[in-house]
Chain A
Amino acid sequence: AQSVTQLGSHVSVSEGALVLLRCNYSSSVPPYLFWYVQYPNQGLQLLLKYTTGATLVKGINGFEAEFKKSETSFHLTKPSAHMSDAAEYFCAVSGASGTYKYIFGTGTRLKVLA
């Protein structure tokens, strides 16, 4: 079965500091991996995705993530946090079951301190 673990339900960073949100997955076959962001009272917006090919994936709003198969990780980073990055972030995996439904992590709420 597939699963996703997001370490840290709450992360706080200062404005301008590095953002690192952790995601580890479990999958018996090559996974598709996604990061989504959810702002208050809104739906989920895709930040970036990994399907095949280059393991360093660049997304919107300056975010990127690196697929590391040996570590079964797909951590999300941004060099310099902005106040507008405050939101909840979800890592998701799909692809192993043939139906491509998403299995989501429990989410990480990012707080950006002025």
Chain B
Amino acid sequence: DSGVTQTPKHLITATGQRVTLRCSPRSGDLSVYWYQQSLDQGLQFLIQYYNGEERAKGNILERFSAQQFPDLHSELNLSSLELGDSALYFCASSVAAGGHEQFFGPGTRLTVL
């Protein structure tokens, strides 16, 4: 158990819908990262927050957004969902903004029908 929690574990929804994925980092970790894992794209970095502020952006679509709240939990919002958005979404946390290992949550499996 990494100490990072993600909810829900599974999510099944239809095209065009909007969903929110939630992540709680390990106690004391200030940095949260979101990754997408799919068969065709592999593991891709989406976005990083550090202590409530966006720190880095990766291959995140404009239909996706994220935020980190004062209690340091983070949410990833996915809207206007397409079939291709079906993937495993991981959240990871680390103590500082960088240079440290990241601890990964169990992931949320999103299926878009």
The answer to whether A and B interact is yes
A residues near B, CB below 8 A?
A: 32, 34, 36, 42-46, 49, 51, 90, 94-95, 97-107
Question: CB distance B97 to A103 under 8 Å?
Answer: no
| Nearest chain B CB to A42 CB, angstrom units | 6
Chain B residue at minimal CB-CB distance from A94? B98
Q: What separation, in Å, do the CA atoms of A32 and B99 have in the docked complex? A: 7
- In the complex, the number of residue pairs spanning A and B with C-beta atoms less than 8 Å apart equals 62
Query: CB-defined interface of B1-41 with A at 8 Å, one 1/0 digit per residue?
Result: 01010000000000000000000000000000101000000
With known contacts A101-B58, A107-B42, A43–B106 Cβ distance under 8 A: yes
Question: CB distance B56 to A97 under 8 Å?
Answer: yes
With known contacts A44-B90, A107-B43, A100–B104 Cβ distance under 8 A: no
Contacts of A95 in B (CB 8 A): 98-99
Contacts of A98 in B (CB 8 A): 98
| Nearest chain B CB to A60 CB, angstrom units | 12
Most buried by B among A94, A95, A97: A94
Contacts of B107 in A (CB 8 A): 42-43
Q: What separation, in Å, do the CA atoms of A105 and B98 have in the docked complex? A: 19
Q: What is the size, in residues, of chain B's interface with A at 8 Å between Cβ atoms?
A: 26
| B45 at the binding interface (Cβ < 8 Å) | yes
Contacts of A102 in B (CB 8 A): 33, 35, 43, 45, 102
| Nearest chain B CB to A10 CB, angstrom units | 14
Q: B residues 67-113 with Cβ under 8 Å of A?
A: 90, 92, 94, 97-107
Q: What separation, in Å, do the CA atoms of A46 and B104 have in the docked complex? A: 9
A-B contact pairs, 8 of them (CB 8 A): A44-B104, A45-B104, A51-B99, A98-B98, A99-B56, A100-B56, A102-B43, A105-B42
Q: What separation, in Å, do the CA atoms of A46 and B105 have in the docked complex? A: 12
Q: What separation, in Å, do the CA atoms of A49 and B102 have in the docked complex? A: 10
With known contacts A44-B104, A46-B103, A49-B101, A101–B42 Cβ distance under 8 A: no
